[in-house]
């Protein structure tokens, strides 16, 4: 039986003029998150048509690994800095693969 991992998609949009600041904050999350136990994949994307439109595509071994990520020092330190730079709160969704 295949291992059921958790896939997370997080979308965020920077306020006008804050794109580079948001990009810097988000880029700083990549290396420490990839080093977290239970993190299988952590990728950051920016929309080719809008430098304000960011997307994280993530995969974790399980829900506990993702919850640990949310409680990590690099995430908790980043949130108060980046949330005011966003046009709305991030849209974070959890998914599981449907297998036949």
Q: Model confidence over 33-80: pLDDT tens digits?
A: 999 999 999 999 999 999 999 999 999 999 999 999 999 999 999 999
**Confidence bin at 1 (pLDDT 50/70/90):** very low
pTM: 0.92
CA distance 18 to 62: 33
Look up the CATH number of the domain holding residue 70.
3.30.70.100
Q: Tell me the pLDDT tens digit for each residue of 6-37.
A: 999 999 999 999 999 999 999 999 999 999 99
5 falls within a domain? no
100 falls within a domain? no
64 falls within a domain? yes
87 falls within a domain? yes
Count of domains for the chain: 1
**91-95 and 50-60 strand pairing:** unpaired
60 falls within a domain? yes
Q: Which domain holds residue 28?
A: 13-95
6 falls within a domain? no
4 falls within a domain? no
Count of positions (residues) in the chain: 100
């Amino acid at each position: 039986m295949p291992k059921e991992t958790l896939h997370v998609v997080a979308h965020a949009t920077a306020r006008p003029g804050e794109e580079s600041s948001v990009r810097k904050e988000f880029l700083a999350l990549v290396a420490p998150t990839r080093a977290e136990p239970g993190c299988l994949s952590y990728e950051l994307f920016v929309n080719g048509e809008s430098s304000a439109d960011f997307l994280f595509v993530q995969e974790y071994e399980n829900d506990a690994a993702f919850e640990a990520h949310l409680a990590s020092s690099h995430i908790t330190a980043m949130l108060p800095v980046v949330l005011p730079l966003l046009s709305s709160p991030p849209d974070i969704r959890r998914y599981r693969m449907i297998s036949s």
